[in-house]
Amino acid sequence: MRSRTKTTATALAAATLLGAGVSACVPGGGPGRAAQAGREARAQASPSPSGTAPAPAPARSGAGPLADRSGQEILTQAYAATRSAGSAHVTARVDYQGKPMRIDLSLDKKGNCNGAVRLDGMGKLDIIKSSELLHFRGDAAYWRGAAKQRNTPQKQTEQMVTALADRWVKIPVSDPRAASMTGSCDLDKLTGDFGKGSPLARKGESTTVDGKPALAVTSPARQGTQTDYVATEGKPYVLKSAVSGESAGEALFSDFDVPVDTASPQDSDVLDLSKIGGPAGEAI
């Protein structure tokens, strides 16, 4: 089976950090790169022909309405429920290109999002995207990382950091330069990998995820074992998806169907990228 933890984090990361803040701001971004990164992650996470999941302990009585269903049936139902949500909050921890990454993002099926991404060597990037505007704010480490990718001379790098570090930048979503960012905020794309449960899936122990009762279901993954934690009260959402082994990581899902806050930052010093043209706009 595919590793949803890896796919989730890579889909967000590729479209956010590598394509973040429009292609004019972070070189090497763009929709093509985000899509390619997602394809590579899914290929890496496909199961090996001989891979099998270790036998988990029997499910406890806390499994509730899921107790009489097979692991495959539980996952298939959980994936369908998760895909049906109109919005969700995702926090993820995973290695991306050999570096630790943390993602904290609320997003919906309308393309709205609000949150932050942190990657070693690329600092922190805050994002707010509505149907009309994209706002983003990088710290000094983010802009230095972007400048390093472009081989920007030291003097220009310092000027860019001074002007942009910890400052909100906005651009209309209709601006072509924002295209590299739009895919990262689509919940449909993020959960598109949630298909049918693996026939090798097995029920594990009852537990809790952020205080919510859940049932662990394990499946084989190429890097090790994928464990999905399915809610046993209310809708059977996937509350957590984790992979152990060579490429460990985890993603937590919460706040299903909670509206995403897309209000513009209350900051009078927001830089309007649409009003900066020519060499100055390209340098940002």
Q: Which of 207, 209, 228 has its CA nearest to residue 218?
A: 228
Query: Cα 193–197–201 angle (5° rounding)?
Result: 130
Structure tokens at 257: 């169907």
> Which strands make up the sheet holding 133-138, listed edge to edge?
202-209, 212-221, 224-231, 238-245, 249-254, 87-96, 99-108, 113-119, 123-129, 133-138, 169-172, 271-272
pLDDT score at 189: 82
pLDDT score at 60: 46
Distance CA 14, CA 128 (A): 17
**Mode of pairing for the β-strands spanning 113-119 and 99-108:** antiparallel
Per-residue confidence band for 94, with pLDDT thresholds at 50, 70 and 90: confident
pLDDT score at 178: 80
Tell me the average pLDDT across 90-96: 83
Q: pLDDT for 212-259, tens place per residue?
A: 999 999 998 877 899 999 999 999 999 999 988 776 788 999 999 999
Q: pLDDT for 109-122, tens place per residue?
A: 999 999 998 888 78
Q: pLDDT for 172-226, tens place per residue?
A: 998 887 877 666 788 888 887 788 888 999 999 999 999 999 999 999 887 789 9
pLDDT score at 188: 87
- Neighbour tally for 24: CB within 10 Å: 19
pLDDT above 70 as % of the chain? 73
Q: pLDDT for 7-56, tens place per residue?
A: 555 445 544 443 433 332 332 233 233 333 333 333 333 343 344 444 43
Structure tokens at 151: 């081989």
pLDDT score at 275: 82
Mean pLDDT taken over the chain: 77
Phi, psi at 48, each rounded to 5°? -75, 150
Distance CA 164, CA 133 (A): 18
pLDDT score at 41: 35
Look at residue 149 and give its three-state secondary structure.
helix
Tell me the average pLDDT across 252-273: 93
CATH class of 4-283: mainly beta
